[in-house]
Amino acid sequence: MGQPTGSAVPHPDYWVSVDLGTTAVKTLLVKDDGTTAASESLEYPLHTPEPGAAELDPTELLHAAEQGVRALLKRNHVRAEQVRAVSFSAAMHSLMAVDEQGQPLTRLYTWADSRAAGAAAALKQSKQGLELYHRTGVPIHPMSPLTKLIWLREAEPALWERASRWIGIKEYLFHSWFGTYAVDYSLANATGLFHMAALEWDAQALQMAGLQEDQLSKPVPPETIVRGLLPNKAEELGLLPETPFVVGSSDGVLANLSADALRPGEAAISIGTSGAVRAAVDRPSTDKEGRLFCYYLSDQCWIVGGPVNNGGIVLRWMRDAVAPRETAYAKQCGIEPYEHFTAMAQEVPPGSEGLLFLPYLTGERTPYWNADQRGMFFGLSLQHDIRHMVRAAMEGVLFAIESVVEPLKSMTGDIHTVRASGGFANSPFWCQMMADVLGIPVRIPDSVEGSAIGAVKLAMLATGAVKSYDELADWNGRETVYEPNFRNHEVYKQLIPVHRELAESSYDAFQSIAAFQQQKQI
């Protein structure tokens, strides 16, 4: 029977998440059971006006977020009162200057901007550098806002005098929508300016950066709820002014929350354009050599691990630069190029018959934190062809992942389960290769939206919809499990030390060739 005439048709409630990324804003409409009802993704350009620059226009990103929320609700006929809360995920290490009215004075400097390399190198070589790392949990590298501030104070003195505040992209959005400045502990943690144990700005880091505390936003817990959306923004977004907005957290820690990788012995690995390995610990922890990060998720849960610069971007380079003929052939045959490359790689045994590839096409972060690291094929002989090169490239990315897993174990103990996500997870061959390289079962959820889903889980806890994350453990659905082939693992165990030795022993050569390349660009 149909609904009685005149009776109200019940409508489900929804959660909205806004994921502020480096290349796009993704918005999700999520039901109480974790099902994604709809999504929107709006891209924007990464501006590279000079060597080392990697900037976003903050107004473009803000407009994308506003358009994404508005379109998500309008296209799916969601009324404002149906939205239970809006929660946020954001990329780490962003930095921009604003004036007293909150208007941008700069573009947004992203994690990929390397122009603070000189400042980072000087700080890393000083005694203060390692001490600062142990307090803040952020490896010394040009990605961090701290090193960018040190660089900008010297490089842009006029800007320095005009800047009223230095903020990240989520703070810019919240100020635009609410007129207030707040930053969650996790994103504050990732600036290199935040004292992990005290959960407040670090006095020595502020002094090194040349900032006063009131030039930064107020640090707040990720589950903080903000209400009072400015009336014009409420109308523009299609939301009620009193809609709860959960401040949210950084994309890195929310990826672990999304993957349900918060227990001892579990790690989350993602490989998209770049990659990362993360695991949970119950207190702030740092690596004695300064190789791994430590970021806040909750008072009882901190996420430790490391990012790698080169993931799927390596195969894209193979597709576009190394093997354009193979790419064209695949397209002529109606085959997706990456599937063709995978098929070629499967014709070669594990270890690529002695061909190794260092995948550092865009420098490297963990464990070397060296922007001058470079890529390399090693062991080439007449017996090798494009098939070997493709497989070696795929193996090289996973050897880089393994170089993060190994030091991570010293902080977390043994890792017995990997939950993996990202574009690479669409390739069963590559997933099996990861299990073989690591010697650990790799679990791939049927459907994972990453940190955007983590933001919804956080919102449900913040608003009291659930009492603990354990209630949401079944959100990932069924998993495909790849058990390691230990015969292949034994092959990789022989090659991993050689790969590591190449990466470590070539430091001087990397510096020299990077200097030569920089000279040719001038």
Residues 234 and 320 in one domain: no
Q: How far is CA 236 from CA 37, 67, 68, 71, in A?
A: 22, 9, 11, 11
- Among the three residues 243, 278, 298, which one is the final residue of a domain in this structure? 243
Two tokens at 296?
């806040």
Q: Is 457 part of any domain?
A: no
513 phi, psi to nearest 5 deg:
-70, -35
Residues 318 and 239 in one domain: no
User: Does residue 54 carry a pLDDT above 50?
Assistant: yes
Q: Is 264 part of any domain?
A: no
Work out the mean pLDDT of the chain and round it to a whole number. 93
Average pLDDT for 327-344: 93
Residues 345 and 202 in one domain: no
Residues 228 and 322 in one domain: no
Count how many Cα atoms sit within 13 Å of the Cα of residue 521 in the half-sphere of its side chain: 10
- H or E element in which residue 420 lies: strand 417-421
- Say if pTM beats, i.e. exceeds, 0.75: yes
Residues 146 and 68 in one domain: yes
Q: Is 93 part of any domain?
A: yes
User: Does residue 452 carry a pLDDT above 50?
Assistant: yes
What confidence score (pLDDT) does residue 297 get?
97
Q: Is 474 part of any domain?
A: no
Residues 331 and 200 in one domain: no
Q: How far is CA 253 from CA 40, 156, 157, 169, 414, in A?
A: 22, 33, 35, 17, 20
CA torsion, points 135, 403, 95, 173, in degrees to nearest 10? -100
Burial 362-400 (b: 16+ CB within 10 A, else e): bbbbbbbbbbbbbbbbebeeeebeebbbbbbbbbbbbbb
Residues 333 and 196 in one domain: no
Q: How far is CA 402 from CA 340, 373, 397, 434, in A?
A: 26, 17, 9, 9
Residues 234 and 322 in one domain: no
Average pLDDT for 205-223: 97
User: Does residue 434 carry a pLDDT above 50?
Assistant: yes
Q: Is 380 part of any domain?
A: yes
User: Does residue 186 carry a pLDDT above 50?
Assistant: yes
Q: Give CA–CA dist 6/497, Å, rounded.
A: 73
> By C-alpha distance, which of 225, 228, 229, 227 is closest to 247?
225
CA dihedral for 218, 224, 229, 234, sign (positive or negative): positive
Measured at the alpha carbon of residue 24, what is the angle toward residues 340 and 12, in degrees to the nearest 5?
Answer: 100
Two tokens at 418?
């990997």
Q: Is 300 part of any domain?
A: no
Residues 223 and 329 in one domain: no
- Among the three residues 243, 276, 297, which one is the final residue of a domain in this structure? 243
Q: Give CA–CA dist 160/210, Å, rounded.
A: 10
User: Does residue 447 carry a pLDDT above 70?
Assistant: no
Query: 395 lies in which domain range?
Result: 312-403+487-521
- Among the three residues 228, 243, 258, which one is the final residue of a domain in this structure? 243
Average pLDDT for 488-494: 98
Q: Is 516 part of any domain?
A: yes
pLDDT band at 3 (very low <50, low <70, confident <90, very high): very low
Residues 232 and 129 in one domain: yes
CATH of the domain at 320: 3.30.420.40
Residue 153 contacts residue 209 (beta carbons within 8 Å): yes
Q: Is 294 part of any domain?
A: no
- % of the chain at pLDDT higher than 70: 97
User: Does residue 422 carry a pLDDT above 70?
Assistant: yes
Q: How many domains in the chain?
A: 2
Average pLDDT for 398-427: 93
Residues 239 and 320 in one domain: no
Residues 176 and 58 in one domain: yes
Strands 108-109 and 83-90: unpaired
Two tokens at 284?
């702030």
Q: Give CA–CA dist 77/38, Å, rounded.
A: 11
- Contact partners, residue 428, CB within 8 Å, separation at least 6: 480, 482
- Strand partners for 281: 302
Q: Give CA–CA dist 247/90, Å, rounded.
A: 10
pLDDT band at 475 (very low <50, low <70, confident <90, very high): confident
